[in-house]
Amino acid sequence: MEKAYKLLAIQEGISNRSAKDLIDRGVVYSGGKKVVMARALMSPKTKFRVEKIDKIEIIFQDKNIVAVNKPPFLKSEEIAKKLGFRLLHRLDKETSGVLLLVKDEEFLQKAILEFKEQRVLKEYLAWCEGRIVENIEIDEPILTVKKANYAYSKISKNGKDAYSLVEPLMIEGKNSKVKVTIKSGRTHQIRVHLKSIAHPIIGDTIYGGRVAKRVMLHASKIELLGYSFEAKEPDNFKL
């Protein structure tokens, strides 16, 4: 038996560090199942499949702002470092869609105020468990606990106000594709709110969803300060 990342490194002809990074990103599979522990002991005969990570697509840029269509499995901070601009907000690693970075400091301060005053419109698409057949408004405060690089949120009367509007788009079997509109931007807000109504996001095992190739959440649209950006769904945003 050998550690998964070492076997992957040999198979792919890459360094141990690169192999561990691929497993940590969640793009390595064996026997149809995602490899979740880089140090897991596996047979030397194990064969791996590595999912391709899409390229960063720039949707728009001018002297103030850069809008990109963030692919899943990349951290927002990685994109900011690669492009050389400051993040205006963040998306979770497995969430795809519109991510905004800024070039101008004065514009940054104006944009931060828009977020603070909840004047930013954000629309997301999500595949969730269960059948949603009518609009659902969720107005539940969210409390977030942060430890080192880890954050977990929950519904709590001690939390900050959070409102989500859930609108059904499609039903496929026992699953629903929905549009979720928010103005507040609490950590993991949509994930927590959908869990609270017993419709967790598929792939979101932290908040009760079943295992899938990724967390099925996509930031489809954002509007602020006269700008409006939309990001097309990636190919892997399908059940």
Is 221:121 a contact under the CB 8 Å cutoff? Answer: yes
Closest Cα partner for 166 from 203, 205, 140, 143? 140
Spot the catalytic one: 21, 54, 92, 161. 92
Every domain of the chain and the residues it spans: 2-50, 57-230
Q: What is the pLDDT of residues 124-167, one digit of tens each?
A: 999 999 999 999 999 999 999 988 778 899 999 999 999 999 99
Closest Cα partner for 193 from 137, 116, 123, 238? 137
Is 26:49 a contact under the CB 8 Å cutoff? Answer: no
Q: Match 């599979």 to its residue by tokens.
A: 29
Is 2-50's fold the same as 57-230's?
no
Flag whether pLDDT at 25 surpasses 90.
Answer: no
Tokens of 37: 């522990």
The third-level CATH classification (topology) of the domain covering 57-230 is Pseudouridine synthase (3.30.2350)
Helix (H, G, I), strand (E, B) or coil at 6: helix
The Cα-based distances of 75 to 14, 72, 101, 210 in angstroms read: 21, 8, 13, 22
Mean pLDDT (the chain) is 94
Q: What is the pLDDT of residues 200-227, one digit of tens each?
A: 999 999 999 999 989 999 999 999 999 9
Quick check: is 54 catalytic?
no
Domain 2-50 has CATH 3.40.50.1820: no
Q: What is the pTM of this model?
A: 0.89
Is 142:192 a contact under the CB 8 Å cutoff? Answer: yes
What is the DSSP pairing of strand 96-102 with strand 217-224? Answer: parallel
